[in-house]
Chain A
């Protein structure tokens, strides 16, 4: 960020800043920081893989994001309302049942990598958003791809 330059130029020999202007700048910066801290918690979700979620004691109001692979053959569509679906997200031996209502993205299906967001209540993950990952790799989707999302390498 270019803060370095501004500070050094302000520390120059001549500095005459209009008070109202200075206050204006100050207000903008403070309110930006305030907005950031205020919105960050409200708009963020804790990211978990199925194995972490299974062993995690959640608070019902805690917004979570779950990433993993859709277990083959686990997708169940309600017969009376086809928008209501249930499926299992798995990672190795850990499995979480997810319920979701809405249209699904293109790639959604068996073995697709999905990210769902919502709340984990009584062993069921109730999702309100469903995203699929668009892989650019030619290799079959492997567990490493999910793991690479944890950004461990940096």
Chain B
């Protein structure tokens, strides 16, 4: 047994050595135009992926095999855990999650380099160097400071088990997806810097960088959404996003990455904002490293800090070095790359993108500032401060609102300039829809802020509708297609444009969900004696008692609540639970009971139970379903955009867009 897990460590060590070789060889291959050296450095990167997957497999195998001679396995699993949690325990601790990070990086690196191996000679070479360098850092930390294959002095009979909070189906996917999101920004970053090094930031560069960026953006989006889903179902405070430091740092690269996705369209079409885009990319990568560092170091006080250790120092050093190197490179290259920076018209599409970028960066800056302000304040010798969720809501709320409006105007703008009359004519439908919604909203509720939020959503919906309808109208006029088929073929012919609108549509749905669930939430906290009733909204809840259920490795304490609804015959039963896992009796975890009605969720968290009563926090979360619908649709739309285009059609779209 012992020799087998040592194999994992040997794989890690070999990867490190080969990565150092690949890093140097690829750099030399660019300098000397040596083709065989270049091939060898590429093959090294493929080999590293193979070694890393093997190392990860060794660890997974040790988990499945319950090898309690391995420190990491002993700390994070035990014999009574179901298989899926045993495997998920792989990335539940620091060593494992770093191994996961670098393994996924090596695989994504190998795939990207393989796909783009015939792209520009210099860019591929430089990308290999940068990717190998990032990889070296992570494997160095793994080999010398966070070895997941460390053995205990002797084998243990059983392990500790997984942290109860992580024992949730959402936890099987959320952390790996979020870590993969952080990790995957390395690829566009490497390509981006490689483009800068080879003075090649043009159409070819955009084509190279677009897909890796979409992959990273999609992974990051998925990670954030699943994080929200998990928080909503487990933490029991009725919401999905709390502006907690760990959430904030995951949100930061998403914000700058989204700005980057928009700014490269300006680079592509107008050859403007090149340096700005590169800077956004550098910011996104640095924030990803910062995020991994924050999660891994426990430097910020947070509801869910995962680990605290000295590895943080290495991250800080790596973060500072890569940021300093990137910024110096941008400054060196800025002279030779200075692009045409003219923005002659405020109503040009590129100006819309510029404003979009300024707002995204402003939101990122505010979020970043709120997150690190406590540290700065303390470092300056002032009092220790904590910044609460209201700060982010007050600052980011208005900025997101402007962003929504912009989403309704931007797509209607032409490149370089839009005539005022044409813009006003195009805006007729959105503005009327907006005005009607606003008047109805204020008339019925009197709440100006909420009405404004919902009306802004209707404004964007109208724009998307207008764009689809005018596009379809043109098609029906030019061909025999009917309206519905025309809408479908729009997506087929110009997938980027109309797929992009699908993403916008999902964002609006998500926004409606967020505005509804945060602005219209009702909640009460109540202690209920057995067989007593309470009402909230249109629901009557009766608490009928609690029971304990013994399971293999945990005990469940569940309460029964019978829910009846106004004017409905049928009743439904809800079972909010608290679970006590063996070895973790002082850290119970909750299973919130949720009934998802179409317009709202009824959400019950069990706070405490005694002999003849129980305490619950009861929430009604209106429109929260749309949060999940919108974000799923966003991933779906992204998949549609990403889906490979057949060669024939690729030719068509190209000739159209050029």
Question: Which residues in A have some Cβ–Cβ distance to B below 8 Å?
Answer: 1-6, 8-10, 12-18, 20-21, 24-25, 28-29, 31-32, 35-36, 38-40, 42-48, 65, 67, 81-83, 102-107, 109, 111-112, 115, 117, 131-138, 148-151, 153-154
Contact = CB atoms under 8 A, between A and B. Distances in A.
Contacts of B366: 32, 35-36
Interface string B603-645: 0010110100101110000000000000000000000000000
Nearest to A32: B362
A65 B542 CA distance: 36
A108 B146 CA distance: 32
Given A8-B334, A48-B384, A104-B608, A83 B525 contact: yes
A133 B586 CA distance: 12
A28 B362 contact: yes
Which 10 residue pairs are nearest across A and B when measured between Cβ atoms?
A5-B279, A2-B279, A43-B391, A103-B607, A12-B338, A82-B527, A47-B384, A8-B334, A43-B390, A103-B617
A117 B386 CA distance: 10
A40 B379 CA distance: 17
Main secondary structure of the interface of A (DSSP, over half): mixed
Contacts of A39: 390-391, 394-395
A40 B387 contact: yes
Given A14-B340, A14-B341, A107-B587, A40 B334 contact: no
Nearest to B161: A138
12 contacts: A21-B346, A21-B355, A28-B358, A28-B359, A35-B394, A40-B373, A43-B390, A132-B303, A133-B305, A134-B165, A136-B163, A154-B379
B276 interface: yes
Interface residues of B, number: 91
Contact of A9 (B75, B275, B608): B275
B155 interface: no
B390 A102 contact: no
A106 B275 contact: no
Contacts of B305: 133-134, 136
Contacts of B361: 1-2
Contact of B615 (A24, A103, A111): A103
Interface in B64-78: 75
The residue among B331, B343, B386 with the most chain A CB atoms within 10 A of its own CB is B386
Nearest to A133: B303
Contacts of A38: 394
A71 B122 CA distance: 64
Contacts of A65: 386
A21 B272 CA distance: 15
B395 A103 contact: no
A44 to B, nearest CB: 5
Contact of B375 (A6, A112, A132, A151): A151
A9 B274 contact: yes
Given A17-B343, A29-B362, A133-B303, 6 more contacts: A18-B344, A82-B613, A83-B526, A102-B617, A111-B586, A132-B303
Contact of A2 (B236, B282, B351, B398): B282
B121 interface: no
B341 A15 contact: yes
Interface in B324-380: 327, 330-331, 334, 338-346, 351, 354-355, 358-359, 361-362, 364-366, 368-370, 373-375, 378-379
Nearest to A141: B586
